[in-house]
Amino acid sequence: MSAEATRGNIWWRWVLVAVIVAVAAVVALWPQLTRTDDKSTATGSTTAPAEPAVAEADRAAAALASCPQPTGAAVGDTPLRGITLDCLADGKPVDLVTALAGKPALINLWAYWCGPCAEELPLLQQFSQQAGTALTVLTVHSDPGTGKALSRLSGLGIHLPGVVDPNSKVRAAVGAPAVLPISVLLRADGTVAKVVVRPFRSVEDISDTVAAELGVRA
């Protein structure tokens, strides 16, 4: 073999060694590079922005009734046990079952963007006025937009007590489909009597349904 050929073989061997070293370096650093990418993704634009704080003036302008408070009444075996939601009127936490226990209740799941909900809410307010203290009607805004909920209620002239459920905990707990509006009828001990997956069409419709399921005629 000539000297020139020998030098050529040696050159190619050094090239091969350099490639092997480079590949080994990339393999060694890959886990660290991957962790860095994962961290930047976790702290980057994939995180949803927090909802803007709701001004107390907006809550006051809505003039909503105060949320019910716990009375110490017995609570039965209900899927709603342990669910705490913020009151629309003042932003304070409300333990749903303990606050409602003691008398039958109708909790209505709605959202500011829901057309049928806007038609149903005035009917629920009329029914609540007829029912008086015999039954509690509580609205549950099933969307993160608390400010938009207050604005919608103000525009509709609705003053029922309400809570905000941004993660749809109530709907998931009762096993209802992802539609709105939904009304959940609760017995006095907080157990679920009926899940109504449709909008009510009249005050009489609400009254008849509540009478049939809860024994309360308004």
pLDDT tens, residue by residue, 118-165: 999 999 999 999 999 999 999 999 999 999 999 999 999 999 999 999
In this structure, the chain runs to a length of 218
pLDDT at 26 over 50: no
More confident site: 218 or 191: 191
pLDDT at 7 over 50: yes
CATH number of 56-214: 3.40.30.10
Question: Residue with structure tokens 């937009």?
Answer: 145
Radius of gyration of the chain (CA): 30
Closest CA to 101 of 126, 71, 130, 77: 71
Q: Where are the domains of the chain?
A: 1-45, 56-214
Whether 121 and 110 have beta carbons less than 8 Å apart is answered as: yes
* Helix, strand, coil percent content, the chain, rounded in steps of 5: 45, 15, 40
Write the single-letter amino acid at 77: D
- pLDDT, mean over the chain: 84
The H or E element that residue 217 is part of is none
Listed in sequence order, the residues at least 6 apart from 6 whose beta carbon sits closer than 8 Å to its beta carbon are none
pLDDT score, position 29 = 39
Cα-flanking dihedrals φ and ψ of residue 49, to 5°? -65, 145
Whether 97 and 78 have beta carbons less than 8 Å apart is answered as: yes
pLDDT at 192 over 80: yes
pLDDT digit string, tens, across residues 50-98: 567 888 888 998 999 999 999 899 999 999 999 999 999 999 999 999 9
β pairing state of 182-186 and 93-95? unpaired
